[in-house]
Amino acid sequence: MAAGTRDAADSERRLAADLRDAHERKGARLRANEILALAAGCLRVADLAQAQSWELAFAAERRKLTSSARESQAAVAAALDAVRRFQSRASLCFSKAELVARDRTRWNDARRKLHEAIDEEASFEAWRLKS
């Protein structure tokens, strides 16, 4: 379960990073085209004002994508931490199970020896009474 959560969080993190990178590439292309159009004299003042408002919207979207990427990274870290905790618990349970098995073996051996001693004592008593 934790490993599946970790994989899903990692997939989400990669998707958020890919979206952010694609957004950055798109912005770089649009800026390059704007510079070329400006150099060619094809832009008007209204175009420049529109570009400025676009740049503000682009920056807001970049912040949102960066925040999403950070949240996804935090989710991956939390999932990895959960995996480590589950592994630690499993290891502890396994160690306890081994300890119980060793104690059970020791207890069963002691019980067997006690029954053997009781049986031996009973046999000896029965032999002594016959004699």
| pLDDT tens digit sequence for 60-97 | 888 888 888 888 888 888 888 988 999 999 999 999 99
Which of 3-12, 23-32, 106-115 is least confident?
A: 3-12
Residue 131 lies in a domain: no
Residue 105 lies in a domain: no
Residue 109 lies in a domain: no
- Domain count for the chain, please give it: 1
Compute the half-sphere exposure of residue 78: CA atoms within 13 Å on the CB side of its CA: 10
DSSP secondary structure letter of residue 58 = H
Residue with tokens 């008007």: 44
**Is the per-residue pLDDT at 107 higher than 90?**
yes
Considering only residues 33 and 4, tell me which one the structure prediction assigns the higher pLDDT: 33
Q: What is the pLDDT of residue 67?
A: 87
The band of 3, judged by pLDDT with boundaries at 50, 70 and 90, is low
Compute the half-sphere exposure of residue 112: CA atoms within 13 Å on the CB side of its CA: 6
User: How far apart are alpha carbons 109 and 111 in whole angstroms?
Assistant: 5
Residue 118 lies in a domain: no
Residue 22 lies in a domain: yes
Which residues form the domain of 8? Answer: 2-93
Residue 60 lies in a domain: yes
Residue 66 lies in a domain: yes
Residue 68 lies in a domain: yes
